[in-house]
Structure 1
Amino acid sequence: MENVDTAHTPEGAQAPVEFFSKSLPGRTSASTIDVDGSNVAYWTYEPVEAKENARTILVIHGFRGDHHGLLRVADQLPDMRLIMPDLPAFGSSEPVVGDEHSVARYGMFIKHFMEALGLGPDTVLLGHSFGSIVASHFAADYPGAVNPLILVNPIASPALEGPKGLMTKLAVFYYWAAARLPKAPGLALLRNRVVVRVMSVTMAKTKDKQLRRFIHGQHDAYFSAFANRESLLESFKASVSGTVGDVAERLNLPVLLIAGEKDEIATLPDQYKLMALLPDARLEVIPGVGHLIHYETPAPAAAAIRDFLKDNPA
């Protein structure tokens, strides 16, 4: 395995303040913890007003992302405590030691991370995109560990099948080729700004020019903060080989699905099919947005989360 490359970690990047509230910095604390021999970075966002019964939400980000992606959602939930780790091998966290970065292994990470922080079964688990796969499989494999479950832009159908299959196979080849090239050109291919911008432009649906610039800037700053090519390829294979639907019937807890009307990755018809498989599910569809609910429509997403948690108290 290659050494961890820290040249592209997000520590120096700053987001425009106009997209966040003034109270967010005061809620924020950064920490690190050893999980199974890997140094893991995580951020805690405390409630603006200390409340004994404030809900705790553990947030799992998507593929090639880190904790920054869900910041706007955290900012819209000032009455709650959110804990947001950078998954192993992404952002400022080290890769797992001596194991593959698979969905099951990330589930084990969640288990041990929760144990290390003393997070109990009243913890709310939230996963976005690839994080929805990891979070749902964890909830299925460790029943009673969390309650309830929230999935934003959930991956409901196999990426290698249907109309998205060809593009996914091309992406598999892209990551495979980058892993096989010598280190310098391989990293250059993965971090190519044109490729990152094409991904960003494809996913963004907003017509707001300032917001689009913000989204592209976020992807430029954080989308290439991965540890090494080997772990990135393993994580990508995990992201396209599983779905929430694989474990839907085993999710015997309340589940909130937050979907984007224009999502081309986690399509709306697939969300309705997924909801039908879940024993206890609610679907919230946000109009006019695609796969970037966490960037484009954090307020409606937060409102859906708050209503869902009112109906499912600790």
Structure 2
Amino acid sequence: MPVASPYAARLAAIPVERKTLELPTGPAAYWVYGDAAAPLTLLMVHGYRGDHHGLEPVVAHLDGVRVISPDLPGFGETPPLRAAGKGAEGAAAEHTLDAYADWLTAFAAAVAPGAPILGHSFGSIVVAAAVAGELETPRVILVNPIGAPALEGPRGILTRLAVFYYWAGARLPKALGDALLRNRVIVRVMSASMAKTRDKTLRAFIHDQHDRYFSLFGDRDALHEGFVTSVSNDVRRFAPQIAQPTLLIAAEKDDITPIEAERHLQTLFPDAELVEIPGVGHLIHYETPQQAASAITRFLRPSDADTR
């Protein structure tokens, strides 16, 4: 039975519409939250193995902002990438960082041209790569940014085990591989390792979210390719090329990128601000969405803050 969201009441007050965009690499499912007449639109990109649902607690606290949130290729309701021009039954395309960045650039140009953009976790790498390339945006927001190689982080050994896990899931016979990758015990271990809150109700909600959405990936090959992409890249590579004002929202207890690495990441951008949230880890979007939304709103509306 689904666990009630602590943010359900706020989210229920926001109009939402599901849409589909046809791209050369296949259909893209996305959700539009808020009033079409809102003065500001923000494009949000979720992290690895998640989908648009993960960022909804942040959406719930962004008053007066229209949000467009797609499911990345291979996750949620967006199918894995196909070779351009091959259609739904065409040959599968490899899920490299360039492929994700090109997909995001095309998506943004079609549905949110010129909008500020936000990326969480793996989404921070995709956003950074796209903005350093051809994606046009006035401001960049990275939440729990991957600011250092995952294999060198405080849980480097666990990351190496995860590399083997996803490799095995892709190589085993299909039934066994799918069962391994969708195993509820393993998903729960992942969820418990990331959650830092001691609030039992919030922890139950986080675990329920991961139970419901972590296994909605398109196929095991895309999942494996996405994981390899996620651990083979980080935001540092692209930071010097991002001239736009950038907001980094980092967590004091993030096990994937230590806060010291996030502080160093800030220095690599030409124009970046770092907001540190204490007592939280890699799940800012679930555990402290109000704090994140407050920082985002101030960053997107600097003139509002100046008049207070």
TM-score by length of 2: 0.92
Distance 1:243 1:312, change over 3 A: farther
- The answer to whether residue 40 in structure 2 is matched with residue 46 in structure 1 is no
Match of 1:297 in 2: 288
> 1:9-88 residue pairs with structure 2 within 5 A?
16-22=4-10, 24=12, 26-47=14-35, 51=37, 54-88=39-73
Q: Structure 1 residues 184-193 or 154-163, which shifts more?
A: 154-163
Residue in 2 aligned with 1:103? 97
Matched residue, 1:133: 125
Structure-1 separation of matches of 2:11 and 2:282: 27
Alpha-carbon offset, residue 70 of structure 1:
0.2
Q: Aligned partners of 1:105 and 1:305: how far apart in 2?
A: 27
* Equivalent residue, structure 1, for 2:116: 124
Conserved in 2, the CA contact under 8 Å of 1:156 and 1:270? yes
Size of the alignment, in residue pairs? Answer: 295
2:138 corresponds to which of 147, 157, 172: 147
- Separation (CA, whole Å) in 2 of partners of 1:15 and 1:78: 25
The TM-score normalised by the length of structure 1 is 0.90
Structure 1 equivalent of residue 277 of structure 2: 286
Q: Distance in 2 between matches of 1:312 and 1:251?
A: 22
> Which residue matches 1:4?
none
Whole-Å Cα distance in 2 between the matches of residues 147 and 308 of structure 1? 12
Answer whether contact 1:36 1:96 (CA < 8 A) is retained: no
> Which ranges of 4 or more aligned residues in structure 1 deviate by more than 4 Å?
none
What SS does structure 1 have at the residue aligned with 2:262?
helix
RMSD between superposed Cα atoms in Å:
1.7
> For residue 235 of structure 1, what is the aligned residue in structure 2?
226
Counterpart-to-counterpart distance in 2, 1:207 and 1:244: 30
Q: Over residues 233-278 of structure 1, what are the superposed CA-to-partner deviations in whole Å (9 max), with x where a residue is unaligned?
A: 0000000010000111111110100011111112100000100111
Letter of the 2:103 partner, please give it.
Answer: F
Q: How many Å separate the matches in 2 of 1:116 and 1:251?
A: 22
The corresponding residue for 2:192 is: 201
**1:94 counterpart = 2:94:** no
Matched, 1:210 2:201: yes
C-alpha distance 312-240 of structure 1, shift in aligned 2 (>3 A): farther
Instruction: List alignment gaps of at least 5 residues for structure 1.
Output: 1-12
Deviation, structure 1 residue 312: 7.7
- Deviation (angstroms), 1:167: 1.9
Partner Cα distance (1:22, 1:277) in 2: 36
- Percent identity, aligned pairs only? 49
Q: Which residue of 1 aligns with 2:250?
A: 259
Structure 2 residue runs without a partner (length 5+): 84-92
Counterpart of 2:90 in structure 1 is none
Task: Give the letter for the 1:120 counterpart.
Answer: P
The CA deviation string for residues 148-169 of structure 1, in whole angstroms up to 9 with x for no partner, is 0000000000112354332222
Structure 1 counterpart of 2:18, one-letter code: A
Instruction: Report if aligned partners of 1:148, 1:312 keep a CA contact under 8 Å in 2.
Output: no
- SS of 1:126's equivalent in the other structure is strand
In the TM superposition, residue 32 of structure 1 has moved relative to its aligned partner by 1.2
What displacement does 1:110 show? Answer: 1.1
- Aligned residue identity for 2:113: G
**CA shift for structure 1 position 310:** 1.6
After the TM superposition, which residues 266-277 of structure 1 pair with which residues of structure 2 at under 5 Å, given as runs? 266-277=257-268
